[in-house]
Structure 1
Amino acid sequence: MKAFQIKIELIDSEPLIWRRVVIPADVTFRRLHDTIQFSMGWRDYHLYEFEFPQEKLRITNDEESYEVFKFYSAKYKSKKPTRKEDPHGIIARIIETTVRQPQTVKIDNYLEKYKTLEYIYDFGDYWRHKIELEKTIEDYEFGYPIILAGAGACPPEDVGGFGGYKEFLEAWNDLKHPEHESMRQWGESQHYREFDIDFRNDLLKTCLKIKKVK
Structure 2
Amino acid sequence: MPRQIFQLRMSLSGVRPAIWRRVLVPGGYTLDRVHRVVQHAMGWRDCHLHSFEIDGLQYGEPDPDGELAVQDELDVRLDAVVGKGSRFHYTYDFGDWWEHDLLVEDAFAAEADERYPSCLDGERAGPPEDVGGPQGYLVFLAALADPGHPEHDAMRDWAGAGFDPAAFDAGRVDTLLRRLC
Tell me which interval the TM-score lies in, with the shorter structure as reference length: 0.7 to 0.9
3-state secondary structure, aligned to 2:127: coil
Indicate conservation of the 8 Å contact 2:85/2:103, yes or no: no
Name the structure with the higher strand share: 2
Pick closer, same or farther for the CA change 1:113–1:68 going to 2, 3 Å: farther
Indicate conservation of the 8 Å contact 2:85/2:105, yes or no: no
Separation in 1, partners of 2:84, 2:109: 17
Matched, 1:177 2:149: yes
Separation in 1, partners of 2:121, 2:145: 25
Cα deviation digits, residues 133-171 of structure 1 (max 9, x gap): 111111334343111111122111111111111111112
Separation in 1, partners of 2:84, 2:117: 21
Separation in 2, partners of 1:108, 1:39: 20
Indicate conservation of the 8 Å contact 1:29/1:105, yes or no: yes
Query: Which is worse superposed, 4-13 or 108-117?
Result: 108-117
Pick closer, same or farther for the CA change 1:126–1:120 going to 2, 3 Å: same
Separation in 2, partners of 1:113, 1:138: 13
Q: Which residue of 1 aligns with 2:111?
A: 140
TM-score using structure 2 length: 0.87
Cα deviation digits, residues 89-130 of structure 1 (max 9, x gap): xxxxx7xx5x22212211102111871111111111111111
What pairs up with 1:23-62 in 2 under 5 angstroms?
23-54=25-56, 57-62=57-62
Matched, 1:186 2:158: yes
Once the two structures are TM-superposed, the CA of residue 172 in structure 1 deviates from its matched residue by 1.5
Separation in 2, partners of 1:15, 1:159: 17
Between structure 1 and structure 2, the one with the greater Rg is 1
Report how many aligned residue pairs link the two structures: 176
Give the gaps of 5 or more residues in structure 1. Answer: 70-93, 210-214
Separation in 2, partners of 1:63, 1:50: 14
Q: Which residue of 2 aligns with 1:195?
A: 168
What pairs up with 1:110-189 in 2 under 5 angstroms?
110-112=81-83, 115-141=86-112, 142-188=114-160
Greater relative contact order, per chain length (Cα 8 Å cut-off, separation 6+): 1
Q: Which residue of 1 aligns with 2:77?
A: 106
Name the structure with the higher helix share: 1
Identity %: 38
Pick closer, same or farther for the CA change 1:42–1:192 going to 2, 3 Å: farther
3-state secondary structure, aligned to 2:104: strand
3-state secondary structure, aligned to 1:33: helix
Indicate conservation of the 8 Å contact 1:48/1:62, yes or no: no
3-state secondary structure, aligned to 1:112: coil
Give the gaps of 5 or more residues in structure 2. Answer: none
Indicate conservation of the 8 Å contact 1:24/1:140, yes or no: no
